[in-house]
Amino acid sequence: MARQASIQPESPQKQPQPQHDIEALRPAQWSLLRELRLHALGQDGTVFDASPETEAALPASYWQEVLATSTIWVATAGDAPAGMVRYTPHDGYGHGGSLWIDPHGRTRGLARRLMLTAVDHARRRGDSELRGSVLPDNRPAVRLFRSLGAVPTGWLKPRNHPPHALRIEMSIPLSQCPRT
Ligand SMILES: CC(C)(COP(=O)(O)OP(=O)(O)OC[C@H]1O[C@@H](n2cnc3c(N)ncnc32)[C@H](O)[C@@H]1OP(=O)(O)O)[C@@H](O)C(=O)NCCC(=O)NCCS
């Protein structure tokens, strides 16, 4: 694919960092995953390739399968979930997705912490890269991926929801990515 997005996101002012715990969800916590994901889609549906209506209709077995095949880390402050990221293994690489931070917790470095958690996990598994896809005009996400060393793979991923927009796939070479 020849097309490549040219993006120069500006950096927002960093806010003080509150204490968040980051933990991987256990299989029994599928309903928390469902709740968080539907909340994220309700808040920021336009950046994800999914709709809250479609995912709300999925059965429990779908969410159980996600936790059986992927690792989901959730950041919490006290008991309140503040963000999440998903890692899915593929042949030779890992895929990072479903990255979402509650609007009240943004610009404090939490997404970076979650991504670095996924990066460390991918390294331990022996992956050489972590891939993910992003809308080219999603400035915060593009800036985050770039700061972790991500480069576009050249693949443009068509979206199902809503149709017509393209996501760019980016790859973080794990040998060059910062460590936590
Ligand atoms: C994208 C998102 C996860 C970033 O979360 P965050 O916790 O605010 O990000 P961080 O504080 O860790 O900042 C990460 C980088 O993004 C930059 N950034 C954050 N918000 C930004 C904004 N509004 N504009 C430009 N850059 C921004 C930060 O400056 C930082 O860059 P640096 O590493 O070069 O300093 C969050 O905005 C979000 O959940 N958005 C909606 C869902 C989404 O877009 N998910 C990603 C789908 S691919």
Q: What residue's CA is closest to ligand 1, atom 21?
A: 140
Residue pair 97/86 in contact (Cβ under 8 Å)? The answer is yes
Distance 67 CA to ligand 1 centre (A): 25
In-domain check, residue 6: no
In-domain check, residue 67: yes
- Ligand 1 binding pocket (C-beta < 6 A) is 9-12, 44, 47, 99-101, 106-112, 134, 138-141, 143-144, 147
Which residues form the domain of 36?
21-173
In-domain check, residue 8: no
CA distances (Å), 147 to each of 11, 49, 63, 111, in order?
A: 11, 23, 31, 12
Q: How many domains does one find in the chain?
A: 1
> Each residue of 37-50: pLDDT tens digit?
999 999 998 899 88
> Each residue of 72-98: pLDDT tens digit?
999 999 889 999 999 999 998 999 999
In-domain check, residue 112: yes
In-domain check, residue 115: yes
Q: What is the CATH number for 81?
A: 3.40.630.30
